[in-house]
Homo-oligomer: A and B are copies of this chain.
């Protein structure tokens, strides 16, 4: 028996079960955001559609992780932190994935082919938010680096504020320069979906802060 397996032997089962699932879910957000940026930066519309389909599949994978966390919750009496906080963290991460996929879905359904600078900028902010979520979630299993988690939460809040600014300015520009009202609404809807994805990142940060307040 290696040292490592002896160590694992003593780690309570609930920790071994929940944290890898959280980390897969948060890692999935980083992958989704990267695929989103790749899709937006390609001029090849067929390639872009394929990358959009990849995002759909990643979102389905996230749904399966969510389902599995709920399943583990029903099987495990002891949980690493409050059951409600586990469900809230799981749902909040799932909401980020939903809005990334929802943004892509709108761009595809509304046939938004011209990708504007604010769309790219918001996608980049979603990536930054996802990276901070992933970093914070990876610190959760070992609450000794509480400061790191708190710092990620602060950065997520700042990212959300930047996304608000990008959104507000982009919509203001639409009002100034887009004379076709139908086009204006279409782009406004796409920008709003992307901006809401960063709101959902902030919700994850709020849940993480609640977990810190209760457990640290």
Task: Give the contacting residue for A175; candidates B175, B179, B182; CB below 8 A.
Answer: B182
B83 touches A168 (CB 8 A): no
Asked if B83 and A213 sit within 8 Å, CB to CB, the answer is yes
Contact B175 A186 (CB under 8 A): yes
The total of chain A residues at the interface (CB under 8 A) is 35
Residue among B83, B111, B164 making CB contact with A214, cutoff 8 Å: B83
Report yes or no: A175 in contact with B213, Cβ–Cβ below 8 A.
no
Q: CB-nearest residue of chain B relative to A154?
A: B67
Tell me which residues across on chain B come within 8 A of A206, comparing CB atoms.
87, 91
- The reply to whether B87 and A209 contact each other, CB–CB distance below 8 Å, is yes
Indicate how many identical chains form the complex.
3
Does A65 lie at the interface of the complex (its beta carbon under 8 Å from any beta carbon of B)?
no
Contact A84 B185 (CB under 8 A): no
Q: How far is the CA of A109 from the CA of B164 in the complex (A)?
A: 13
Decide: A175 and B110 in contact? CB cutoff 8 A: yes
Q: A109 to B169, Cβ gap below 8 A?
A: yes
Let me know if B182 and A213 touch, CB within 8 A. no
Write out the residue numbers on chain B whose beta carbons fall within 8 Å of the beta carbon of A175: 110-111, 182, 185-186
Question: What are the residues of chain B within 8 A of A209 when measuring CB–CB?
Answer: 70, 87
A184 in the interface, Cβ–Cβ < 8 Å?
yes
In angstroms, Cα B214 to Cα A84, docked, is 8
